[in-house]
Amino acid sequence: MKTVEISELASLWENYGKSEQPLVLTRNGQPVAALFPIEDIDMETLSLSVNPKFNQIIEQSRKSQKEEGRVFLDDIPLPPET
């Protein structure tokens, strides 16, 4: 993974499409964003991959599977319907 200061982004933007690795943008050395190609990713997958509630459900499911060898839907707190 490559790390780039935001101030340097303009010069790298032209050639970014030629690189498949994620690009971490930093400000004063601190990461603030990530840039990665999404050509073969549908919007639903992208949305879920950055959804904290969804990631929490997946993590809880993995933990249950590892510790107890099973996963039951009733054990996973689902967000309220809106």
Rounded to 5, what percent of the chain is helix, strand, coil? 45, 20, 35
- State pLDDT tens for residues 44-82: 988 888 899 999 988 988 888 788 777 677 777 777 776
| Distance from the first to the final alpha carbon of the chain | 38
Q: Beta 2-5 vs 30-35: how paired, if at all?
A: unpaired
pTM for the model: 0.47
Assess contact for 12 and 4: CB atoms under 8 A.
Answer: yes
Assess contact for 23 and 16: CB atoms under 8 A.
Answer: yes
Query: What is the model's pLDDT at position 20?
Result: 65
Question: 63 by DSSP, 3-state: which?
Answer: helix
- State pLDDT tens for residues 18-46: 666 788 888 888 988 888 777 788 889 88
